[in-house]
Amino acid sequence: MASSWIDGDPVKSDDIVIVGASESENIGIVPDVSAMGLAIDSALRALDDAGLTPQDVDGIAGTMHPAELALQLGTRPRYVDGTNVGGCSYMLHVRHAVAALRTGMASTVVIMHGESGRSRVGVPMMSMDMTAAPGQFERIYGVAGTFSMFTLPVMAYLNKYGLDESALAEVSVAQSKWAAQQPRALRQKIVTVDDVLNSSMIAWPFRVLECCPLTDGGGSLVLTTAARAADMDLKFAPVLVAGTGELVEGAGSSFMEDLTSFRAFRESSAEAFRSAEMTVDDIDHLMIYDAYAHLPLYGLEDLGFVGKGEAAEFIKSGATSPGGSLPMNTNGGGIMYTHTGMYGMFALQEAVRQMRGTSPAQVDGVQTSFVQGVGGMFAAAGSVILRKQ
């Protein structure tokens, strides 16, 4: 096993702030806007938070074609980041933007997401690379979607800790209590363990209420230096990017080092804590990317909030629910709120809302938020720690 990358100086980011953050006007089912249209709509709204226009933008990031993004937004960026490692790419974009802003490669970076996952408006033909390792050695076995591959390691996890199907159901139950407070959530109904276990089977042990729905939506962030932010006419107090981390483990859920713990979660989060000079005790609010209900279980343990095998009981106890000690996935998560395909941007948006004090499910007194993303199917991870200024 290769040793950890965690040595040397961390990427410090105590002077980079988020001055703009917005989702597209509509999310969920949006058949009248293209994927690009959703991205640009959210970018203009995020820029408006800071009184900026496209002409003020000299850095862009996104998973869509960067040159097309630049043209559509109307900027000629001198900094471009097209990193695409799946749904956590936006966490990596934040981390890279911090480095770019600190070194003067850019002064104002816009990170954009737009996806028409449900309505498929303005979406290029999907091409699955069947010659890549997952194509040759996983997908040929009747993998119908991410729900039958991303989920595959879960029984190793449940078996190791003597857990049953209800451990997954409790994740959806807890998150539904947050979603009920979110008017923009696709699924807003509070559900019980029985509701979840009786919902239609997708890939045993996963029921439909433990799987993300497919939706449309956009979201953007605007980052700049604290010094520049001080001269801007901001609608909301800037939110500090206190720490970041990333790790790529490699494509394919069967190729992960340990089926019961995700190395990329462990190392990207450790780097974020280290660069923020924080520990789990400093975190008031948590977002863990939940394309499927097992991810918050892996995440809570791999980030160090609970011990190995303790996440299910922690969630069942109400600790992550409204009124609990560690509010988690307060937008309802990808499973309840929205999941365009690459959900990471929406986890970041909710974290910014909590720091601004503007979430419909606002938690009183939160000063810090940890946002953990996953990309591909246990392929990559990105972490961002935000702090209220």
- Region from 19-27, 86-94, 113-121, 252-260 binding another protein, contact rule CB under 8 A: 252-260
Check binding of 5 to another protein (CB under 8 A): no
The least distance separating another protein from the CB of residue 83, rounded to whole angstroms, comes to 22
Q: CA 205 to CA 155: how far, in whole Å?
A: 8
Q: Which residues contact 234 (CB under 8 A, 6 or more apart)?
A: 19, 49, 50, 51
Closest CA to 348 of 88, 144, 139, 153: 88
Helix axis angle, 295-302 to 263-276, nearest 10°: 50
Q: CA 132 to CA 141: how far, in whole Å?
A: 14
Helix axis angle, 166-179 to 295-302, nearest 10°: 90
Q: Binding to another protein (CB under 8 A): which residues in 254-283?
A: 254-255, 259
Q: CA 336 to CA 369: how far, in whole Å?
A: 20
The single residue among 62, 153, 341, 373 that binds another protein, judged by CB under 8 A, is 153
- Region from 139-147, 302-310, 323-331, 338-346 binding another protein, contact rule CB under 8 A: 139-147
The single residue among 72, 89, 151, 368 that binds another protein, judged by CB under 8 A, is 151
Q: CA 86 to CA 76: how far, in whole Å?
A: 25
Kindly list the distances between the CA atom of residue 88 and the CA atoms of 194, 349, 375, in Å, as whole numbers in the listed order.
Answer: 31, 13, 5
Q: For 59, which DSSP code?
A: E
Residue number, 178 or 206, with CB nearest to another protein: 206
Check binding of 152 to another protein (CB under 8 A): yes
Q: Binding to another protein (CB under 8 A): which residues in 342-361?
A: none
Q: Which residues contact 373 (CB under 8 A, 6 or more apart)?
A: 87, 88, 89, 90, 91, 289, 344, 347, 381, 382, 383, 384
**What does the CA dihedral 42, 30, 370, 297 come to, rounded to 10 degrees?**
-160
Check binding of 141 to another protein (CB under 8 A): yes
The single residue among 68, 145, 198, 277 that binds another protein, judged by CB under 8 A, is 145
The single residue among 67, 144, 227, 230 that binds another protein, judged by CB under 8 A, is 144
Check binding of 154 to another protein (CB under 8 A): yes
Residue number, 136 or 192, with CB nearest to another protein: 136
- Region from 79-87, 126-134, 213-221, 261-269 binding another protein, contact rule CB under 8 A: 126-134
The single residue among 99, 105, 133, 280 that binds another protein, judged by CB under 8 A, is 133
Residue number, 70 or 133, with CB nearest to another protein: 133
- Region from 137-145, 169-177, 356-364, 367-375 binding another protein, contact rule CB under 8 A: 137-145
Closest CA to 333 of 144, 118, 170, 165: 170
The least distance separating another protein from the CB of residue 207, rounded to whole angstroms, comes to 10
Residue 369 pairs with which residues in a beta bridge? 285, 386
- The answer to whether 70 and 38 are in contact (CB under 8 A) is no
Residue number, 136 or 389, with CB nearest to another protein: 136
Cis peptide before 205 (omega within 30 of 0): yes
Q: Which residues contact 159 (CB under 8 A, 6 or more apart)?
A: none
Check binding of 210 to another protein (CB under 8 A): no
Total residues at interface with another protein (CB under 8 A): 37
Residue number, 251 or 300, with CB nearest to another protein: 251
The single residue among 6, 29, 123, 155 that binds another protein, judged by CB under 8 A, is 155
The single residue among 36, 202, 232, 380 that binds another protein, judged by CB under 8 A, is 202
Cβ-in-10-Å burial (0-12, 13-18, 19+) of 26 comes to: middle
- Region from 30-38, 134-142, 190-198, 310-318 binding another protein, contact rule CB under 8 A: 134-142
Check binding of 227 to another protein (CB under 8 A): no
- The answer to whether 332 and 184 are in contact (CB under 8 A) is no
Q: CA 219 to CA 349: how far, in whole Å?
A: 7
Check binding of 148 to another protein (CB under 8 A): yes
Check binding of 137 to another protein (CB under 8 A): yes
Binding residues vs another protein (CB under 8 A): 2, 130-131, 133, 135-145, 147-149, 151-157, 159, 200-206, 252, 254-255, 259
